[in-house]
Structure 1
């Protein structure tokens, strides 16, 4: 499928947020975090979190994968497709929640483990940085000595990524090449020679696209994103901020209703449709009665 968006929230979570494919998630994390065979993460436990609703404040198709690694490290992977000026503040906010939620009331601070936030961005965000991968810690402003290694925030900007030498590719570069959509299947096959996990990802992608239900849900989500930009552009030109909010909300709800109807016709259960569309159980049940 040409122009397949691998950052589509439904697809991304199926690929890297499923325990059946945790080996791929570990490959992605170990690559991005520059772990070698001796100190790499060997296991991961996913913590289920619902997708956020599609709204105007930058949360369109924002995906949240929360997990614990085998040494207790906490990790949060965020995908952001819409430009958002306050990414740093939001990432710090989510990082702080992830870090603080480790302790139960009365627990000792020594039980706190490192927390890592990884932001995979489909847009340029850090104007003063040229590299596609930038890591932030808590440092002394004069000596640059690190106060603690418990905080680590990564920004991966896909537009800045260019593969320099396919023969000397690192695991992190292989994964970013895959998600960037800049490289053909033939080039990804060559990349997979050095990073086998990419071959498995491509094979899963083919299986995903051959599944009529999964593909239909993917296409509906992509349509919702296109509608978002269409409504935003039209109303922005007219300067109608209130109309923009109302128009996008209406368009998104209509797209989600159409998705729900199609999935109901395919026999998908109500709970799955609720999670995939953001509609309420009552709304989906009403649609179920309506199409009978």
Structure 2
């Protein structure tokens, strides 16, 4: 009997399976848990990054959804490090804003954007697995938050800039190292490990247990999925190797610089070239150039 407790990783599922309307409930459940309000997917984002070939790109913006207030949510999955990632999500949010207001429309029609990034790489320093950022304007001297006067439904109301400007969520999947208790933690656990509890009640995960079973895929799909995982592992190994080599090269360069500094001081002290060679390991030619 085939085991049925192996689930497809989210980064693969969001590209292949969750783009089918019948499976939208999985991702909608995740977004509902994260944002603590009901979210519905309204369309798929088609771009050059949504390729389904052997040369599949790892980095992509895939799905667009809306919350109960009609605000736009864009979801991105990222497997590999990108030096200008923050600049890219800023561009993505700005693009979503401009795409949803027609020429000649009032600025009142601008939609608020939520940018959600699911990151399977180390973006930098930080101890948490979930970061949330939004725009605030704080008094330099008073410390109070600025409220903006704006017209809404025929009346003048006050709003905080954070109610209008984009919000960003960065989910650092690999930094999650705790027992899942809340629905959100159960989701993060699945994002990291691919494991889903048999008794889960978290929105979206119950549906995922039925629809994201590895052994429900055809043999061709299983092969493609396994190749995807292998490619990610190789990619991570290459990156880790490059980091290690960089550290080793850095240490080696540091040692060499130190030896040169010592040799320079020896020369100032009037020691012979032979003694300096023995003391530093540098060649006579290198010492003569100092």
Q: TM-score by structure 1 length?
A: 0.64
Contact 1:117–1:152 under 8 Å retained in 2 = yes
Contact 1:19–1:46 under 8 Å retained in 2 = no
1:179 aligned to 2:191?
A: yes
Structure 2: gaps of 5 or more residues: 146-159, 247-290
* CA distance in structure 2 between the aligned counterparts of 1:77 and 1:230, rounded to whole angstroms: 26
Alpha-carbon displacement from aligned partner over 1:2-33 (angstroms, at most 9, x marks no partner): 99761444x22234333212222221111111
Matching residue within 52, 60, 63 for 2:60: 63
**How far apart are residue 233 of structure 1 and its match?**
7.3
Counterpart of 1:29? 31
**How far apart are residue 100 of structure 1 and its match?**
1.3
1:201 aligned to 2:217?
A: no
SS of corresponding position for 2:204: helix
Matching residue within 112, 115, 129 for 1:114: 112
Contact 2:77–2:119 under 8 Å retained in 1 = yes
Contact 2:135–2:162 under 8 Å retained in 1 = yes
**How far apart are residue 79 of structure 1 and its match?**
0.7
Structure having the larger proportion of residues in helix: 1
**How far apart are residue 156 of structure 1 and its match?**
0.4
* CA distance in structure 2 between the aligned counterparts of 1:93 and 1:107, rounded to whole angstroms: 21
1:158 aligned to 2:173?
A: yes
Contact 1:8–1:222 under 8 Å retained in 2 = no
Aligned residue runs from structure 1 range 49-128, under 5 A: 49-50=46-47, 52=49, 60-69=57-66, 71-127=69-125
**How far apart are residue 131 of structure 1 and its match?**
2.0
Contact 1:130–1:160 under 8 Å retained in 2 = yes
Counterpart of 2:287? none
Structure 1: gaps of 5 or more residues: 240-292
Q: Which moved more, 1:197-206 or 1:103-112?
A: 197-206
Aligned-residue CA RMSD (Å): 3.3
SS of corresponding position for 1:179: helix
**How far apart are residue 155 of structure 1 and its match?**
0.3
SS of corresponding position for 2:43: strand
* CA distance in structure 1 between the aligned counterparts of 2:61 and 2:215, rounded to whole angstroms: 20
* CA distance in structure 2 between the aligned counterparts of 1:101 and 1:210, rounded to whole angstroms: 36
Q: 1:130 to 1:144 in 2, by over 3 A?
A: farther
Q: TM-score by structure 2 length?
A: 0.64
Contact 2:6–2:214 under 8 Å retained in 1 = no
Counterpart of 2:161? 147
Q: 1:196 to 1:34 in 2, by over 3 A?
A: closer
Q: 1:131 to 1:94 in 2, by over 3 A?
A: same
How many residues are treated as equivalent by the alignment?
Answer: 220
Contact 2:27–2:204 under 8 Å retained in 1 = no
* CA distance in structure 2 between the aligned counterparts of 1:180 and 1:82, rounded to whole angstroms: 14
Matching residue within 13, 18, 25 for 1:16: 18
* CA distance in structure 1 between the aligned counterparts of 2:81 and 2:16, rounded to whole angstroms: 23
Alpha-carbon displacement from aligned partner over 1:138-178 (angstroms, at most 9, x marks no partner): 11244363424231111001122134453xx2x32221111
* CA distance in structure 1 between the aligned counterparts of 2:133 and 2:243, rounded to whole angstroms: 35
* Greater gyration radius: 2
Alpha-carbon displacement from aligned partner over 1:28-87 (angstroms, at most 9, x marks no partner): 11111122xxxx23x321233135289xxxx95113223241532211111111122322
* CA distance in structure 2 between the aligned counterparts of 1:131 and 1:237, rounded to whole angstroms: 25
